Amino acid sequence: MIKLLIDTLKKRSWRLAIVETSSGGLLSAEFIKQDGVSAIFAESMVAYDMDAKLKRLHVDEELIAAYGSVSVQTAESMARGMCKNTGADVVISITGISGPKGGTEVKPVGLTYICVLVDGVCSTKQYFLSGSRHSIMKQTVELAIQQTYDCIFSKEE
């Protein structure tokens, strides 16, 4: 599926950027493993630290105070910030709680938001994943790839 995404982005002359928190760079690594990715891959960033979100991605501190760093709003703001920084046509942004600690009743371990920004439009989904930290991270990567595929190919309809 990644190869098809890369080929499609090449045909459209689109560039891809990725910003990750809870997946820790695993999504970027999956793309970078592919031959020919340099033609479409602009940049990736693991924005694990709050300062990275605030200073490099220009996520509004008040937005994080109101909704938290794991939220639809933060995922979308991260995507828009990465888009502004890189000029990418497609941006994938991930924020979540991979565990084993860090969850609450309101935001449990496994809560994940994936935003795919295509041509300026965000498509953000919420997931409740389960398993070990590694399993949640792996599921996140698989879901991000599928969600990106769905967003890219829905543009053809």
Please state the domain extents for the chain: 2-154
SS3 content of the chain, % helix, strand, coil (to 5): 45, 20, 30
Which pLDDT score is estimated for 154?
Answer: 81
Structure-token match 């820790």, residue found: 24
Which pLDDT score is estimated for 155?
Answer: 59
Q: Do 90 and 42 meet the contact criterion of CB atoms below 8 Å apart? A: no
Phi-psi region of 110 (alpha: psi -120 to 50; beta: other; left: phi over 0): left
Contacts of 133-137 with CB under 8 Å at 24 or more apart are: 133/98, 133/99, 133/100, 136/22, 136/96, 136/98, 136/99, 136/109, 136/110, 136/112, 137/22, 137/23, 137/24, 137/26, 137/98
The domain made up of 2-154 is a member of CATH 3.30.70.20: no
Burial 45-78 (b: 16+ CB within 10 A, else e): bbbeeeebbbebbebeeebbeeeebbbebbbbbb
From first to last of its 157 residues, the chain has per-residue pLDDT tens of 999 999 999 999 999 999 999 999 999 999 999 999 999 999 999 999 899 999 999 999 999 999 999 999 999 999 999 999 999 999 999 999 999 999 999 999 999 999 999 988 999 999 999 999 999 999 999 999 999 999 998 855 4
